[in-house]
């Protein structure tokens, strides 16, 4: 099969008749044959994010904080997840911070990731696809 992997990302802004936007993406033929997808519960202490051995040479890794977005009364983010490749994970060394509902796709993401949440049992969606 060809073109089994599709990546896309888009950002757009508009105000008062002005607008900017960008879309990036591509489609790839997979060399390997593995993919992984699951919800992992992240807590108040640094933990490894499970990707291997299901995927050993990821082309893309995607993460999404499945927690609610904000406190309706205050507008303050309810739960943040900190992600990065350093252990132990802390808010200071995190390269990615996801508020509730936010997600990110990381090209050539690697298999070693660590996470920490601002609340216990925060659901983190994880998807990884072999090259």
Strand runs (DSSP E) across 16-107, as ranges? Answer: 18-28, 35-42, 47-49, 58-65, 81-84, 96-98, 103-107
Any domain includes 15: no
Nearest partner of 41 among 123, 126, 125, 128, judged by Cα: 123
Tell me: cis bond preceding 88? Omega within 30 of 0 counts: yes
Which domain CATH number covers 50? 2.60.120.770
Any domain includes 12: no
Q: 102 lies in which domain range? A: 31-130
Q: pLDDT by residue (tens digit) across 97-124?
A: 999 999 999 887 788 999 999 999 999 9
Q: pLDDT by residue (tens digit) across 23-32?
A: 998 888 888 8
- Containing 43, the helix (H) or strand (E) segment is none
3-state SS, residue 110 = coil
Name the strands in the sheet holding 122-130, side by side, starting at the edge strand that comes first in the sequence: 35-42, 122-130, 58-65, 103-107
* pLDDT at position 3: 63
Percentage, residues of the chain above pLDDT 70: 97
Any domain includes 111: yes
Is residue 97 within 8 Å of residue 80, measured between CB atoms?
A: yes
Any domain includes 20: no
Q: Specify the number of domains making up the chain.
A: 1
Residues in the chain where the model's pLDDT stays below 70: 1-3
């Amino acid at each position: 099969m060809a073109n089994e992997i599709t990546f896309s990302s888009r950002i757009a802004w508009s105000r008062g008749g002005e607008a900017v936007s960008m879309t990036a993406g591509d489609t790839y033929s997979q060399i390997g044959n593995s993919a992984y997808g699951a919800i992992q519960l992240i807590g108040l202490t640094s933990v490894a994010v499970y990707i291997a051995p299901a995927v050993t040479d990821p082309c893309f890794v995607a993460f999404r904080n499945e927690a609610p977005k904000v406190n309706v009364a205050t507008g303050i983010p309810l739960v943040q997840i900190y992600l990065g490749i350093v252990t132990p994970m802390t808010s200071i060394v995190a390269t990615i911070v996801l508020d509730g509902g936010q997600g990110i796709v990381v090209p050539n993401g690697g298999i070693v990731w660590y996470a920490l949440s601002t609340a216990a049992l925060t659901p983190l969606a994880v998807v990884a696809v072999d090259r």
